Amino acid sequence: MKKAAFTFQQPIFFTNPGWQDYGLLDSGNGRKLERFGGILLDRPEAEAIWQPALQAREWQRADAVFHATAEESGGHWEYRRSLPEKWEVTCGSLHFWMQTTASRHVGLFPEQAPQWEWIMQRVKEADRQVRILNLFGYTGAASLAAAAAGAKVTHVDASRKVVGWAKENSLASRLPETAIRWIVDDAVKFVQREARRGSFYDGVILDPPKFGRGPKGEVWEFYRLIPQLLQYCQAVLSEQPLFLMMTAYAVKASYLTLYNAVSEVMQRYKGMVQAGEILNVEQSAGRLLSTAIYALWSDSQPPSGGKL
């Protein structure tokens, strides 16, 4: 019987204590109340099945409220006050442009901040020029973090609009124009071509959606394609990679699912695999809101995460 290459340990939970320009103020009744800079937003959150800790009048201070449709794939914003078309928030040296979109998203997943910090730390500790591949890169937070630490980054997303948004965030963060290579492409096809070209990376970041479409109509389905994509990612890793990090939102899977998948593709490398949940810490009652699952292979000690 073939034994697992890595021993499963107590799961690690990333927690986000918040920063000056962001806060999870309260949650409950299937909603969350957040502050992005000076803007308060009330958005759906299926995990928040408890009662809010704050009074209704505090929730009524929200500048905008997103009302989801029954299918949860759409909805509309209700604006209680006039909002700027976009506004800026900062996290350390990184700058991000925020805006309300046709979906509930606003261009940033702030609970991932501990991941950005760890990526920056790991790139700096490498003490060499490293190349990082960020697939499904969205508006670029992880790409900006790696580039700010000195990495050469390739940022891939199927949406030309969000790649343009990521470029604006890079400009706002005053990163060198040559630090990030911007690619509008299907993630699977791009990694396949990189493998054929013999283009290798020291770190790979994946944040795949549950479902999506590529720029030419390619269909992405998480459960069907993620095993294949992980194999392609392993094929483009350098001989001495630093990490492979995968995060998943809105999928009906345990972090053990990601742990097993990442462990399988990283068997040839020495290192450690950890998995767990990404949590946001609520300011009102200190409750932990689970937002995503993740798995991470690292060539050295992975991040310690939060203590539960």
The pLDDT, as a whole number, for residue 308 is 36
**% pLDDT > 70, the chain:** 91
- Give the three-class secondary structure for 215: coil
**In terms of Cα–Cα distance, which of 100, 99, 94 is closest to 78?**
100
Please write the tens of the pLDDT for every residue from 278-292. 999 999 999 999 999
The pLDDT, as a whole number, for residue 219 is 67
One-letter-per-residue 3-state SS of 98-167: ECCCCCCCCCCCHHHHHHHHHHHHHHHHHCCCCEEEEECCCCCHHHHHHHHCCCEEEEEECCHHHHHHHH
Global pTM reads: 0.92
pLDDT confidence band for 307 (50 / 70 / 90): very low
Please write the tens of the pLDDT for every residue from 176-192. 999 999 999 999 999 99
Break the chain into its structural domains and give their ranges.
22-86, 108-298
**Under CATH, what is the fold of the domain 108-298?**
Rossmann fold (3.40.50)
Domain 22-86: which CATH number of 2.60.40.1180, 3.40.50.10470, 3.40.190.10, 3.40.50.1100: 2.60.40.1180
Tokens of 82: 């006039």
Asked whether residue 72 carries a pLDDT value surpassing 70, the answer given is no
Asked whether residue 155 carries a pLDDT value surpassing 90, the answer given is yes
More confident residue, 15 or 213: 15
Q: Which residues pair with 226 in a beta bridge?
A: none
